[in-house]
Structures are given as C-alpha cells and as structure tokens.
Amino acid sequence: MLQFFSKYKFFLVVLLVLSIIIISVIYSVLKPKEILPVFQPSEVNVELVDSTLHYKKKYHTIADFSLKNQNGAIVTQDNYKDKIYVADFFFTTCQTICPVMTGNMAKLQEALKNDADVLLLSHTVQPEVDTIAQLKRYALEKGVNDAKWNLVTGEKEQIYNLARKSYLAAKDAPYSPYELIHTENFVLVDTKKRIRGFYDGTQPEAIERLLKDIAILKAE
C-alpha cells in the first residue's frame, strides 16, 4: 500500500488539488450572489414619503440638489458622482437622537476613512438656525473630515423636498410650511442615485449591517 502511494504520490496530489478547485467553482456558482434591494417610494412607510409618490413603484432616484456645506462651498450631486454615500437629516441643537446619530456617522467616517468610493452627507432640517458658521463649529466639535463628510444647509423648501421626495427619510410637520420631523434613518445611496437601504442611525448593530451592505454594494 505504501509503495502504491509512493508511486502515485504526484498524481494523487494533483487529483486532490483539482478536486478542491472543482468543488470551489461549483460552490461559487451555486451560491447566490448577495444583492441589495432597490427601494421605491411605494415600499417605504407612507409617513416618510410625500403623498405624490405613494404609488411610485420604479425608477426612483435622488433629485439634483445645490446646497452649502460647513465651509460655505456649494455641494451638488457632482460631488457625489460615481460614489456610494450615506445620507441623513439632523440639526445641531437637537439633544435627543441627533448626538447619537452624529456619533455613529463619525464611526462610519473612521471605518471608511481609506475608502475614497464612499462619502457621507448630513442635511440640517433647521437651516434658519444652522448657518454655515454654526455647521462649521459643529463639524469641528464632532471631528468631521471635510473631504469625507459634508454637513449641508440651504433653502428650507429644497431640504424638505429632498427629505420627503428623494431620501424618503422624514415625517411632515403640517403646522408650518416645509417643516420636518426628521427620523433616525441613515440612507444608503448607490452610484446610480438609487436608495439601497435604510438603517437606524442610533443602533450599533444597524451601523455594522450598513458597513456590510456597503461592501456588498461595492461588489455588485
């Protein structure tokens, strides 16, 4: 028996390697590739979606925008062209969920600091309070990397429409025109401006899932 194995040792090793390769190929073919869903307005909680979009079932993308960041620079979709990004809504004087959300966005910034393909975008829902100077103070306090993360302000109507008609991430506050009740949602947007996921920005496990989903999205 030992003589047999000695005589055919090279052949057996080659056969073993080929078997491993074949099994690996079959497994990779049979294992379904993970693909994130593309969210449409009709699939999202109606409270977070403008009534004009409740029945929209396809082709939803983030609308063009022009806002100003913490440095007074104009930020448009050109800044996010061909990028994956995470968006949310907040205001600097919020004392409830915003500090937790901002802290978790900072953790995303740290985790993705060497990934030039992924950016962050936070919109204030109180532009009358969150001036450029106020956003800059907040950015410095929270350790915002200007190259990675924009805190933006602009016309209240535009921010309202972005929240309700594009990102589908805020409730309407009907007591005043263009007032919003922002949520804890972090919104994952792909390079084609489509929504690929919603995540609770106050929960560590949701942040971990978001990072995993970014990796899946990059592999698509």
54 is in an annotated binding site: no
Query: What are the structure tokens assigned to 69, written together?
Result: 């960041």
* CA-based max dimension of the chain: 90
The verdict on 201 and 179 lying in the same domain is: yes
Spatial separation of the C-alpha atoms in residues 90 and 74, rounded to whole Å: 19
Cα separation, 12 vs 180, whole angstroms: 69
Q: Is the pLDDT of residue 165 over 80?
A: yes
CATH code of the domain covering residue 192: 3.40.30.10
User: Rounded to whole angstroms, how far apart are CA atoms 201 and 109?
Assistant: 13
Residues 22 and 66 in one domain: no
Closest CA to 98 of 85, 86, 108, 88: 88
Q: 109 and 10 in one domain?
A: no
pTM of the model: 0.85
**pLDDT tens digits, one per residue of 45-91:** 999 999 999 999 999 999 999 999 999 999 999 999 999 999 999 99
5 domain-assigned:
yes
Domain of residue 14 covers 1-31
Same domain flag for 77 and 184: yes
Please tell me whether 94 is known to bind a ligand.
yes
